């Protein structure tokens, strides 16, 4: 079966950098996605990596290494509003929308 | 532009009661999904639809039924609710020409089964 592992919680101060790691085991691989979810809110899409390397979108970057079955989300210049849960996800099959999510990493940003 | 809208947002049921959650999207998306989210866990796929009139099972389909009679709507039904179905339910949609697989989620429906 498929599985994803990510840390349950990370705490950091404003302005710091946080890296959230995600390791996965899949029968086939079609890409790694990241979603952000604030308490009581809906998950929102952050990024998607299909190929090895770093994808940068503003303060957030996502990295993938297919040979290591590993990826990470990098949050730079942390702001209080970045306090949220972050989920990595992989497609269950070659259908992108059928995602298997990790359990989520809660990021707590302190002043 | 409302995006993905779910109704109701909150509901309390007694064991054995039935109910339907409605999801509506105004983005003309072909694909729609129902996920559930439990504390300390990621989202798990219940059922999904790749187009009007089609539905398929996801990871955790037992105890749920779905229908997609119109492209913009995706209904999730619980015929006989059980306490194990207490959860937050999220509907999502995706365009068929998406290059990133980005899912657009509704705000969630919090269901409690007593």
Best mutation target, A97, A100, A102, to test chain B (most B CBs within 10 A): A97
> Which DSSP letter does residue A81 get?
G
Using CB atoms and an 8 Å cut-off, which of residues 25-84 of chain A contact chain B?
A: 31, 33, 35, 41-45, 48
Q: Which residue has the tokens 């090895």?
A: A52
Q: Do B31 and A92 touch (CB under 8 A)?
A: no
Query: How sure is the predictor about A49, in pLDDT bands with cuts at 50, 70 and 90?
Result: very high
Burial A74-109 (b: 16+ CB within 10 A, else e): ebeebeeebbbbbbbbbbbeebbbbbbbbbbbbbeb
Query: Which tens digit of pLDDT belongs to each residue from B34-87?
Result: 999 998 788 999 999 999 999 999 999 999 999 999 999 999 999 999 999 999
How many Å apart are CA A54 and CA A65, to the nearest integer?
9
pLDDT at residue B83 in the model? 97
Please, which residues bridge with residue B113 across strands? B13
Per-residue pLDDT band for A95 (boundaries 50, 70, 90) equals low
pLDDT, one tens digit per residue, over A15-45 is: 999 999 999 998 777 889 999 999 999 999 9
Instruction: Answer yes or no: do B101 and A98 touch at CB < 8 A.
Output: no
What's A16's DSSP letter?
-
Q: Does B22 touch chain A (CB under 8 A)?
A: no
């Amino acid at each position: 079966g498929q599985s994803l592992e990510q840390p349950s919680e990370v705490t950091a101060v404003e302005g710091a950098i946080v890296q959230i790691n995600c390791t996965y085991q899949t029968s086939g691989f079609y890409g790694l996605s990241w979603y952000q979810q604030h308490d009581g809110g809906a998950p929102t899409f952050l990024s998607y990596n299909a190929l090895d390397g770093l994808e940068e979108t503003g303060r957030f970057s996502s990295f993938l290494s297919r040979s290591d079955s590993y990826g990470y989300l990098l949050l730079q210049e942390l702001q209080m509003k970045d306090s949220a849960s972050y989920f990595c996800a992989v497609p269950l099959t070659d259908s992108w929308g059928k995602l298997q999510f990790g359990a989520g990493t809660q990021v707590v940003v302190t002043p | 532009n409302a995006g993905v809208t779910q109704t109701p947002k909150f509901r309390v049921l007694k064991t054995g009661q039935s109910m339907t959650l409605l999801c509506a999207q105004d983005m003309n998306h072909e694909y729609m999904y129902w996920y559930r989210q439990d504390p300390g866990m990621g989202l798990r796929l219940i059922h999904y639809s790749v187009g009007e009139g089609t539905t398929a099972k996801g990871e955790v389909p037992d105890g749920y039924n779905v229908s997609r009679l119109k492209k913009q709507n995706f209904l999730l039904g619980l015929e006989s609710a059980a306490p194990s179905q207490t959860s937050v339910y999220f509907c999502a949609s995706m365009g068929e020409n998406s290059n990133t697989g980005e899912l657009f989620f509704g705000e969630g429906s919090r269901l409690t089964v007593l």
